[in-house]
Amino acid sequence: MKRLFLISASLIMASAGFAQTDAGSDSSLYRFNNPGTPKEVSKLGAAPEFRFLRNMNSPRQVYAAIKKHENDNTADMNKLNDLLMQIGYTNGAKDLKSSDISMAHVKPGTEGNMGSSGYTYGYCRLKGNPSEFKAWKIMPKDGNEDKSLYVFAKCGNAFYPKTTASTACINVPVQVTPDQAQIDLPSSGREVTTNDQVYVYYERRHHGKDEAPNQVSGINDPYPSKPLLVSSVMDEEVIPETYNVTLSSPQNNTVTACTDSTLNLTANINVEKTSTYTGNYPKDDHKVYKKVSKRHYKMIARKMRKAERKANKIARRTGVPVDVKLVKAE
């Protein structure tokens, strides 16, 4: 009975000492004794290591796959448990929590040890598109990110970077919004010309008994004189066209950002013409009729004819048309 107790105590001490071992002391994945020239790796999937972890889509799926096999006595789980123990998980996968696993992209150019089929490890340098090196990051038990274990999503191969500074890329959310949602273009709008005209007239009190009323639109008197145009003002206005400008969201709502790497983002600019003018268009002519006495009407007509004759005389002598607004009877 005493001998059995001593054996149990020895096992406990050995287990405690093993749990405190730093990553890199017992597994060749974590050791960089003689790395030599790294082998460049640009494509994954040719020699998968942990096959049951291949082609996972989320950290939750990775966690579920590990927990599903945690009690299996297979080469895959024995090796994975060994790697987990080296980063502080005393009981391997049994101590792993869902929050310990996150998604990451290992930055191209990173050097480190990578697993392969047969659980062999080689020193390599990643090269190519960051999307190829999507990985599941397993945080060490003590929370030291410098000792994180990576498992590539595409092949299920373990990876341990030699240098952890700026090693992992991160996924960041993307939201694209235009600086201006609506644009007005006055120069390309519709031109509207408004002609404001003022006429004078007098009421004809003497007319033939059989003469029919001379109805003029805008004049209430039944027998008005011929309206005399005394003022004409033309105004030109451009009604602007309106366009809505929007940016379509990228196909993915997240992008991979890496230190010292260009972030490429593609979005489409959409320009939609909404309308040229949504209000009431001004009328072409605005006519106003003002009633005056017959005496004033004739006086105005004489002065207008006199001004017109003078303008024509100046034009004949100079050969230059007089730039005045001449008013005359319709």
Quick one: average pLDDT of 4-17? 34
Q: Specify the higher pLDDT residue, 277 or 67.
A: 67
Give the pLDDT score at 70.
Answer: 92
| Mean pLDDT for all residues in the chain | 77
Give the pLDDT score at 19.
Answer: 33
CA separation for the pair 183, 160 (Å, rounded): 53
Residues in a beta bridge with 245 = 271
Cβ atoms of 237 and 189 within 8 Å: the answer is no
| Structure token pair of residue 65 | 């796959």
Identity of the amino acid at 218: G
Give the pLDDT score at 188.
Answer: 57
Give the pLDDT score at 26.
Answer: 55
- Check pLDDT > 70 for residue 275: no
In the chain, what percentage of residues exceed pLDDT 70? 70
Give the pLDDT score at 269.
Answer: 72
Q: Out of 28-32, 94-98, 207-211, 214-218, which region has the weakest mean confidence (pLDDT)?
A: 207-211
CA separation for the pair 316, 227 (Å, rounded): 29
Q: Would you call 153 helix, strand, or coil by DSSP?
A: coil
Give the pLDDT score at 180.
Answer: 57
Cβ count near 164 (within 10 Å): 15
CA separation for the pair 142, 127 (Å, rounded): 30
Most confident of 71-80, 180-189, 216-225: 71-80
Q: Specify the higher pLDDT residue, 106 or 235.
A: 106
Over residues 33-56, the pLDDT tens digits come to: 766 788 999 899 889 999 999 988
> Hunting for tokens 């709502």 — which residue is that?
253
72-79: long-range pairs with CB below 8 Å, 24+: 75/119, 76/50, 76/51, 76/52, 79/49, 79/50, 79/119
Identity of the amino acid at 285: D
Cβ atoms of 14 and 7 within 8 Å: the answer is no
Give the pLDDT score at 259.
Answer: 61
Q: Specify the higher pLDDT residue, 306 or 255.
A: 306
Q: Would you call 25 helix, strand, or coil by DSSP?
A: coil
- b vs e for 61-85, b when ≥16 Cβ sit within 10 Å of the residue's Cβ? ebbebbeeebeeeeebbebbbebbb
| Structure token pair of residue 223 | 């027998």
User: What DSSP string runs through 61-89?
Assistant: HHHHHHHHHTT--SHHHHHHHHHHHHTT-
Give the pLDDT score at 69.
Answer: 93
- Check pLDDT > 90 for residue 151: yes
Give the pLDDT score at 15.
Answer: 32
CA separation, residue 311 to residues 58, 149, 298 (Å): 89, 98, 20
Question: Which pLDDT band, with edges at 50, 70 and 90, does 249 fall under?
Answer: low
Give the pLDDT score at 160.
Answer: 93
| Structure token pair of residue 36 | 């030599």
> Hunting for tokens 């319709």 — which residue is that?
330
Give the pLDDT score at 252.
Answer: 60
Over residues 279-321, the pLDDT tens digits come to: 455 555 678 889 888 899 999 888 888 888 888 888 888 888 8
Q: Specify the higher pLDDT residue, 326 or 265.
A: 265
Give the pLDDT score at 228.
Answer: 86
Quick one: average pLDDT of 252-262? 66
- Check pLDDT > 50 for residue 3: no
Q: Would you call 158 helix, strand, or coil by DSSP?
A: strand
- Check pLDDT > 90 for residue 158: yes
Question: Which pLDDT band, with edges at 50, 70 and 90, does 127 fall under?
Answer: very high
Q: Specify the higher pLDDT residue, 180 or 12.
A: 180
- Check pLDDT > 80 for residue 161: yes
| Structure token pair of residue 196 | 């404001």
Give the pLDDT score at 250.
Answer: 62
